[in-house]
Amino acid sequence: MDCPKLLKTLWHAWCTFSNILGRVMSFIILTILWIFVFGVYAVILKILSIPKLWKKPPDTYWVDPLSEVPNGMRHQF
């Protein structure tokens, strides 16, 4: 069944609006997370890493690779 032209326009307008609304909401929610969740954890991590400031620079920047989990190829980690 063909949709009347007016309804189609309305539907497009609604989709555009909901898309914009989604972006705005994501931005707000992510920003709240950024301040209250990431912020708190980041501050704790920064405090915990203070002793590292006195660590002398390493002789080499080569490090060992991360160890592979059993059956590693089947996992995304």
Partner 1 sequence: MNKPVYILGLSCYYHDSACVLIKDGEILFAAQEERYTRKKQDESFPNKAIQAAFDSTGITIEDISAIGFYEKPFIKFFDRILRTTFKVWPRGLMQYQYSMQDWMTKKLWIPQSIRKELNYKGDIFFIPHHESHAYSSFGVSGFDNATIVTVDGVGEWATATIGRGCSEVPSAKCQVPNSGTWNLPLGPELETEGELGTSKPVQTVKILKEIHYPHSLGLLYSAITYYLGFKVNSAEYKVMGLAPYGKPKYLEKMRELIDVKEDGSFALDMKYFTFEHGLRMTGRSIEKLLGQPRRKPESDLGQFHKDIARSLQDMTEEVMIKIVTHAKKIAPSKNLCLAGGVSLNCVANGKILRSGLFENIYVQPASGDAGGALGVALAIWYKQFNGKKLYQMNHSYFGDEFSDDEIEKCLKKEDVPFLKLSYEGLIDRISTLMEGDNVIGWFQGRMEYGPRALGNRSIIADARNKENWQKVNLKIKFRESFRPFAPTVLEERIGDYFDLDRPTPFMLLVADVHPDKRDEIPAVTHVDGSARIQSINREQNQKYYDLIKAFEQKTGCGVIINTSFNVRGEPIVRSPEDALNCFLNTHMDYLVLGNYLLTKRDIPEEKVLKQKDYLEKFELD
Which residues are within 8 A (CB) of 52 and not within 5 positions of it... i.e. 6 or more apart? none
Question: Can you tell me the distance from the alpha carbon of 58 to that of 52, in angstroms, rounded to the nearest whole number?
Answer: 12
Is residue 63 near partner 1 by the rule CB under 8 A? yes
Q: How many residues bind partner 1 (CB under 8 A)?
A: 24
Smallest distance from the beta carbon of 17 to partner 1, in angstroms?
A: 19
For residues 47 and 39, the answer to whether their CB atoms sit within 8 Å is: no
Among 45, 47, 53, 67, contact with partner 1 (rule: CB under 8 A)? 45
The reply on whether position 76 binds partner 1 by CB under 8 A is: yes
Contact partners, residue 11, CB within 8 Å, separation at least 6? 3
- Binding of residue 36 to partner 1 (CB under 8 A): no
Residues that bind partner 1 (CB under 8 A): 26-27, 30-31, 34, 38-39, 41-42, 45, 59-66, 72-77
